[in-house]
Each structure stands twice: as C-alpha cells, then as structure tokens.
Amino acid sequence: MKKYATFLYDCFRLSFVGDWRYQLWMTILTLFSLAGLYAYCQQFVHGLVTTGMTDQVSWGLYIANFTYLVGLAAAAAMLVIPVYIYRNLHLHDVVIFGELLAVSVIIMCLLFVMADLGRPDRFMHLFWRFNFPDSVLTWDVIALNGYLLLNLHICGYLVYCAYCGRRPSAVFYVPFVFVAIGWAITIHTVTAFLYVGLGGRPFWNSAIIAPRFLASAFAAGPAFIILTLQVVRRYSRHRVSDDALLALRRIVQVAMIINLFLLACEVFTEFYTDSAHVASARYLYFGLHGHDALVPWIWSAVGMNVVAALLLVLPASRGLRWLNAACVLSIVGIWIEKGMGLIVPAFVPTPLGEIVEYVPTLNEIVVCLGIWAFGLLLYTIFVRISVPVLAGEVTYENRLRKSGLGPIPGTTATS
C-alpha cells in the first residue's frame, strides 16, 4: 500500500518536470482548462441558457463532442486488436498509448455529459433509480464507466508493475485486454443506439448509423494516435518504429474508405427516395427554406474526408508529411461530420416541422475547449509518466537508493 502511495506521489512530481516546451504546453492547457471551468461555473449559475441550445435543438456542441470522443475512445483500443489477435508486434510498444488515450478520452466524455446536464447536482439519482434495460442511456453509463475502469486497470497495472520492477503477470491483464476489445466496439455501438432508437427523429432512425459510427471512429482514432506517437518519438526516449505508424495508417485507410462508402449509402437512400423523411438531410446538405447554416460545414467535412482517403490510398502517404496531413484532415473532417453533421441536423426541422437553427455561444465553446484541454492535459501527464516508468528509469528501487528524498531519478544529470 505504501508502495502504491509513493508511486502516485512520484507520478505527481514527475508530471511537473520537463523542459520549456513541456511547461509551455502544460501552461496553455491549464489556462484553457481554467477558462473552461470558469465558463462552466457561469453555466451552473445561470443554467443552460448560456449555451445556444433551445427546446427545438436541445442537444448541441456538448453531445456532439461526446459522440466524437466516444468514437475516439473505442478506436484507441483498436491498437490492441492487431497486437493481441494478429500478433503484429510492431504495435506492441505503442499499445499502452492507445489505452492511455482511451482513459483520458473517456474522462472527457463523462465531463461533456456532466456539462450537458440541467441538474448535475442530481446525477446520483442514476444510482437510486436506474432505468435499465429500457433506457439506452443507462446502457451507455455502464459501458463508458466499465470501459474506463477496464483501461485504468490495464494501464495502471502495467505501469505499476514496471515501477515495481517486476514482470506483469499475464492473467492480470491479458483477459482484460480481450474484454476491452469487445467492450470498445460495444461502447460506440451503444452510443449509436442512443440515437438510432428514437422513432420521432427519422434522420437518426436508420440502421446505418451504428456502422458509420464505428467506421468513422476507427478512422479518426488511429489518426490521432499516429500524430501522438510522433510527438512521443520526438520528445522522449521511447522508441516508435515507422512500421507501427504504417500499420496504423493501414487501419485509417481502410476505415476511411468504409466510412465514405457508408456515407454514399446514406446519401443515396435519403435523396433518391425523396420522401418527407429527407427534410433533415436536405437541411444539412443543401439548406431548407432558406436556412443553411450547416451547409458549408458538411461539405468541408466531406471534402476533407475524401481528400484524406485519397491521400491514404496513394503511396505518398507512406511519407510522414502526407500521412500527417491525411491524419489531420481525417480527424477534423470526422469531427465535423459526426458532431455537427449528425447531432444538430436531427433537430432541424423539429418533429412538428419548425426550423430553428443552432449557433453555439462563446460560453459553450469555451467550456468545450476547456474539457478538451483538460483531456489533453491528462493524456500528456499519462504519457509523461509512463514513458520513463516503462523504460525502467523511474522505479521504486531507484527511489529507495536515493533515500526517498532526492529529486526524481531519471530527471536529473545524476543517476
């Protein structure tokens, strides 16, 4: 127990140590997080009127980000599949970064949900009366929290074992890893089912939503990790082979192509039939009765996704510059398409045919940025801790040798 406490303490101290770039990055993230907290407090005092949401568009940027991030969390576990099922050892070293990303992203998801609640002070009502199995939201609560605990356990166990200098015992993490694979698919499917099950929203009430969720998640998630791994490679001593990056590229490539195919399926079904159900899709892609705020967004997203897919298919993206460009395009394109291109159009027009457009307020945007910054802060800290610990530079033994009072080993010139 004492060892665990010192482990946590060492992690805490380690997260403050770094060169000027690290400090700058952390300061920026902290500032944004504090701004987000401030904006959220404004919302807590005045209510959700500080956001741009209305009775007509009752879910907005918070749920859009939540949806996107659940996908990212699911995809983070994608790295596990090649390693543990296909024995692709190139990715073995980087699995931990995927798992850590999953942890920080799930925390962001939970924060977005809390930010969206009208009465966050009552969220413990979920424990007293839980409408399981009727409400898909309850399934989502179980899925997300379970996934968080699963990944916390896996990462924590591996890092703690490295800290203690002993080999991790397979029985304590390998079964959990396999469960996490299945669970990752589940969390995103359940999140999709939140929307799919609503008959009153024909834009969502389609079987293709869940497969599209997974496809776009598996394009955006590994893209994010490709970028992150390059940062890790550049700023720490952890080895990341190019083969790992190329394996991830293959995943993004296939997932993006599937995503575009599913997009084509959806667009055809909506517009060829041209029934009344097409109203929301028409609003999104072409505008409805003069209201067209989302049109430039969705076409940019489609453009970005198509360009990303082309880049990924071409051998030029084997080079890091084009690969990074394709990744950025994927991440941003899928964020727009999944967030604003999925959540908001279902509310326009309303089930009674009224059109009220949604524009997020500054307060809302600052809260979102704050949560993103906080999540990135957590992820940076996790990576900051796990790289030296897994490399064996920061261990309990090193600590004892320094009588527990010196500066953290692995962080100074002496060792």
Partner 1 sequence: MDVRDDRPSPGTPDLPRDPHGGEQSDGVSRRGFLTRGVAALAGMTSVAAALSPLRHLDRDDIPSIAEFFQKHYKEMTAEDKQEVFRRVQEAVKRHHGVDVELADPGPLAGVEFVYGLNLSRCIGCRKCVHACVKENNQSSAPEIEYIRVLEMEKGSIDVETANHHYPEKVVPDADKYYMPVQCHQCDNPPCVKVCPVEATWEEDDGITVIDYDWCIGCRYCEAACPYWARRFNFTEPAVAGPLNTDMAYLSNRPRPKGVVEKCTFCLHRTRVGRMPACLEVCPTGSRKFGNVLDPDSEVAYILRHKRVYVLKQDVGTLPRFFYYFDERGSRYHEPISEEVGS
Partner 2 sequence: MVLGAFAVLLLLDPLRFASPVAAPDSVPDWATDPTPVRRPSESPEYRVGVFRYGCSDCHRIIPSASEGRELPIQHTEIRLEHGINTRCLNCHHPTNRDAFVADSGAEIPWNQPQLLCAKCHGPVYRDWQHGAHGRTNGYWDTSRGEQTRRRCIECHDPHKPPFPSMVAAPGPDTLRMGRQQVGDHAGQDNPLRVLRHPRVDGAYPRIDGAEDVLKEGP
**Which long-range contacts (C-beta less than 8 Å, at least 24 apart) are formed by 348-353?**
348/56, 348/57, 348/280, 348/283, 348/288, 348/291, 349/279, 349/280, 349/283, 349/288, 350/56, 351/200, 351/201, 353/279
Task: Please report, as a single letter, which amino acid is at residue 98.
Answer: G
User: Binds 366, which of partner 1, partner 2, none (CB < 5 to 8 A, cut-off by type)?
Assistant: partner 2
Phi, psi of 291 (to 5 degrees): -100, 115
Burial class (CB in 10 A: 0-12, 13-18, 19+), 162: buried
The residue (of 92 and 277) whose beta carbon lies closer to partner 2 is 277
Among 3, 12, 16, 34, binds partner 2 (CB under 8 A): 34
Least distance (Å) between residue 31 CB and partner 2: 6
With binding defined as CB under 8 A, does residue 290 bind partner 2?
Answer: yes
The residue (of 82 and 410) whose beta carbon lies closer to partner 1 is 410
User: Binds 197, which of partner 2, partner 1, none (CB < 5 to 8 A, cut-off by type)?
Assistant: partner 1
Read off the tokens for 12. Answer: 């805490």
With binding defined as CB under 8 A, does residue 16 bind partner 2?
Answer: no
The residue (of 35 and 152) whose beta carbon lies closer to partner 1 is 35
User: Binds 264, which of partner 1, partner 2, none (CB < 5 to 8 A, cut-off by type)?
Assistant: none
Cα–Cα distances (Å) from 387 to 7, 14, 289, 391, in that order, read 14, 11, 55, 6
Centre a 10 Å sphere on the Cβ of residue 219 and count the other Cβ atoms it contains.
31
Determine contact, residues 103/152, Cβ cutoff 8 Å: yes
Among 10, 50, 196, 247, binds partner 2 (CB under 8 A): 50
Residue span 330-369 as binding mask against partner 2, x where in contact by CB under 8 A, dash where not: ------------------------xxxx-x--xx--x---
Among 11, 14, 29, 39, binds partner 2 (CB under 8 A): 39
Among 45, 170, 207, 405, binds partner 2 (CB under 8 A): 45
Task: Please report, as a single letter, which amino acid is at residue 358.
Answer: Y
Residue-by-residue DSSP string for 234-295: HHSS----HHHHHHHHHHHHHHHHHHHHHHHHHHHHHHHH--GGGHHHHHHHT-BTTB-TTH
Least distance (Å) between residue 370 CB and partner 1: 9
With binding defined as CB under 8 A, does residue 295 bind partner 2?
Answer: no
Among 11, 52, 215, 244, binds partner 2 (CB under 8 A): 52
Least distance (Å) between residue 51 CB and partner 2: 10
The residue (of 203 and 218) whose beta carbon lies closer to partner 1 is 203
- Determine the length of the chain: 415
Centre a 10 Å sphere on the Cβ of residue 296 and count the other Cβ atoms it contains.
9
d(CA 18, CA 25): 10
User: Binds 357, which of partner 1, partner 2, none (CB < 5 to 8 A, cut-off by type)?
Assistant: partner 2
Residue 414 Ramachandran class (φ > 0 left, ψ -120 to 50 alpha, else beta): beta
Least distance (Å) between residue 204 CB and partner 2: 22
Among 55, 121, 134, 274, binds partner 2 (CB under 8 A): 55
The residue (of 202 and 388) whose beta carbon lies closer to partner 2 is 202
* Binding positions for partner 2, rule: CB under 8 A: 27, 30-31, 34-35, 38-39, 42, 45-46, 49-50, 52, 54-56, 289-290, 354-357, 359, 362-363, 366
